[in-house]
A and B are shown apart, each in its own frame.
Chain A
């Protein structure tokens, strides 16, 4: 039997030979690209944050010209819907089917725990957090190849509890919050600080995705001096709208995702109660700092034709810090991912850098960031509502300065363990 190659096979063969001849020297100088898989939520309730995160990732990769440490970066983007099972499935796809070397993500709290658990089963790859901010990604049962250069939901509250008690002189705060992992982290941090300062707390929890808060609002104790509102996205909009319509007038302290561009962009009566809200988080929209202003200018320049003057939100910022660290470490090892990425991981652990809001970042022994936090107030600047930074809390660690053994002994944050205890 003779093999008669058809026309197509001949052409393919010719192309292959030509390709080898032309590109062989280039391949020698520039080894195969690094596959960077990213995961963010482009579906579901946090889709808006996922889009924002990918705008930041795209901006930074473009600025790096899709290279790091002398190697090309091949970017593979995946999406989840803020649910852990989906995040896990998509992460597996990134690693097992796409062959990603490094995974950057995911976006939300419970997803992060799922990805961290998965990371243990593939010790030859490196996982770098996106914006997932639940404390236990790194504090308890941390994984050797899971890194987080962004601060967590509890660190994001640093400074707020003490400010409420000592500066605003509020003696009793009622916490209204969604009943899931991320608000637990935030309420825990706020409660620890506020209780230490001598304040009294009440708690009202509602299921995630509640749209009618009128009966909850009726339950707010009359003795409250302020509300600590830990809702984000549509839950936050619904709560604040109904609180405004009910004639609510207590001062508001905001969870990190309450005082957010998402709510500032929406129109309605909630804006009236939102103005003046004090909140804490890893960024503020308006901050007199050149590094930050430069970053915002680059972001706006790249994306203003799509989204106007909107600036990146907290979650997108977390992606920026983690990607910045990834690129810095790749540069430090000249793109060397051999030996199961050992050198790359060592470089990650040793990194110390200033992020795009000019906050100092380094890792602790759990591969968790120690970085600065900011106190903000919602004000009108440049004709629109923005969070305006008025205080910086330097070098916040994961246990908010409390001794780690005592902090861990308190147990994981939950609605039954909201942190209103004295250490």
Chain B
């Protein structure tokens, strides 16, 4: 693909994968925005925007169904949050919805009350707080649907490549493990042993693990034969400096992100930490990457659509962070006194910008998903002729 065609936008572009990192930046931007507000209308808008983009740009692949899964997870989170409030709530507020029978608790649990009056204010507050989490989950789900996990791992820097491979291998092992469990259960049935229940489960653990281990050894041999782990000549000092910087970077980024999302810490602490961590991390990756001789096959280009997708996620994040500092009241979903939630104009407009991703990103290529016709494929790992 030439640079020019890579820059084409939206439906005018040839179908291709959008860089997975762009989708993750976009989704994390939206999640950051969501973390800064309890305004239900803004949060609903975030979910709606994410869902719209997913519906327009999700590829037809097994992993692209995770948006719905994460939405359901979000509903569960809200239900749990509200449930806890109903049972353990303190009954603050004027509008009592229902009064539950109160359970007397021992003295050492002072401050906790089980049952009692349930007010509309606290239920609403709990629902809003649950909605924040649900919205962030929806954003993660959107990123999972839009960007193939394998392609994301393929774009990790060379220094982290080994870790990436481990994750990919683990992902391909999971379905095979399920196949193994099936096989062992079948064998138990054929031997006339119980194939259901706890005893059957315990009896099948060992053979399944044995099979997995055998496959792991086979795979390691195959990877070794295919050049996995070839390294270039690099001095020990460079290698150590690389690892050190990398570690520093990871710690910095983690603390920075936490400080930003937490909201309680002023932005003046979070941003510099994040920036510092990022710089150290990039330098570390560069140094450590010198050791690897690997190249990338058909890397996803980072062109205009990627810039716009990432940017359309960063805009709501930055806007909401700024608004939360300048005018925090506008972002709070009103619970006391009870009132219809308003729609703050600037944050809503910023969130709407994220919908741009659904327009500018190229369509994903059609990939063929064919279910294996034979659930018990003919080829199975065979024990080696000579036990090593």
Bound pair (A, B): no
Residues of B within 8 A of A (CB): none
